[in-house]
A = this chain, B = another copy of it.
Amino acid sequence: MKIFTTVEDMRAYVKACRNKDHAIGFVPTMGAFHKGHISLMQAARKENDVVIVSIFVNPLQFCSGEDYDRYPRQTDLDRRICEAEGVDAVFNPTVAEIYPKGFDSHVDQGELPSKLCGPFRPGHFRGVTTVVSKLFNIILPDAAYFGQKDYQQTQIIRRLVQDLNFDIKVRMMPIVREDDGLAMSSRNVYLGPKQRREATCIYRSLLRAKELIAKGENDAGKVIQEMRREIRKTKGARVDYLAITNAETLESIREIKGKVLIAVAVRIGKTRLIDNILLG
């Protein structure tokens, strides 16, 4: 497995792949791999000739006061996981390589980043669309893989690809969960044992919503009320938002019909966790 730390070296490898007409599957990550990441690598492995994984904790997508400094970093372990999953190349640049002195361009979107997590994380999605645009231009992948846990991010990337004419297939893979339902996240390591148990209220609230809707409830307000009740049973959990939206536009809906996203963001202590399910 190759490891590249400079844009120039990464590009040379990509060019060689393209000269051989190899389809490139790309998994952009911030490292600290869990089974969710691995599922993306496996999908990329299955669907492409070459798999490239980027590991880059992107400062631009952390807001002030967020966890950029303490975000888990485990480069050696991550590289070994990539190797074990048959990844062909890892792109693991420094911050200075991605944002050299004088860097001053940004990619942004209007509507989608203003929904759900947007108001709670000002600038976050601008950081995501900017770094992903850069990575797309460096890697020139045929397909890029994202996890459904970050559903809003995936929708934004889909919009980005369409709007800026990236010739890239966006593939979204299902959420991978712990045995008790907690969505896998690199931030789960922040949770103490008690918090870890408390965090299960998130998925329970989603299951409760699913159950109500399966029973015929189509009033989004009522479903959200029940979700809130479920989460309130857990003392340590504070809700950032509970939302039922059109799965395409991420706009809140009153009546549950068609393809619907149910999304939750909750804080357990200082740790912000998100989860969602798609229905319809």
Chain A residues with CB under 8 Å of chain B are: 7, 11, 18-19, 21, 100, 102-112, 129-130, 133-134, 137-138, 159-160, 162-167
Residues in B whose Cβ lies below 8 Å from that of A109 = 104-106
Copies in the complex: 2
A10 to chain B, nearest CB (A): 10
Residues in B whose Cβ lies below 8 Å from that of A129 = 105
Given contacts A134-B165, A137-B167, A138-B165, contact A106 B108 (CB under 8 A): yes
Residues in B whose Cβ lies below 8 Å from that of A100 = 162
Q: A113: nearest residue on chain B (CB-CB)?
A: B104
Given contacts A137-B164, A165-B138, contact A106 B104 (CB under 8 A): no
A156 to chain B, nearest CB (A): 9
How far apart are the CA atoms of A103 and B165 in the complex, in Å? 11
Q: Are the C-beta atoms of A164 and B104 separated by less than 8 Å?
A: no
Q: Are the C-beta atoms of A167 and B104 separated by less than 8 Å?
A: no
How far apart are the CA atoms of A107 and B105 in the complex, in Å? 7
How far apart are the CA atoms of A165 and B68 in the complex, in Å? 24
Q: Are the C-beta atoms of B11 and A133 separated by less than 8 Å?
A: no
Ordered by A's residue number, 8 sampled pairs between the chains whose C-beta atoms are within 8 Å are A7-B165, A19-B21, A100-B162, A104-B110, A105-B129, A105-B164, A108-B108, A133-B164
Q: A138: nearest residue on chain B (CB-CB)?
A: B165
How far apart are the CA atoms of A107 and B129 in the complex, in Å? 10
Q: Are the C-beta atoms of A107 and B104 separated by less than 8 Å?
A: no
How far apart are the CA atoms of A160 and B102 in the complex, in Å? 11
Q: A110: nearest residue on chain B (CB-CB)?
A: B104
Residues in B whose Cβ lies below 8 Å from that of A11 = 167
Residues in B whose Cβ lies below 8 Å from that of A107 = 105-108, 133, 164
How far apart are the CA atoms of A118 and B106 in the complex, in Å? 17
A235 to chain B, nearest CB (A): 40
How far apart are the CA atoms of A84 and B185 in the complex, in Å? 59
A60 to chain B, nearest CB (A): 12
Q: A19-B21, A105-B129 are in contact. List 10 more A-B contacts (CB 8 A).
A: A103-B163, A104-B109, A104-B111, A105-B159, A105-B160, A106-B110, A107-B133, A107-B164, A108-B108, A137-B166
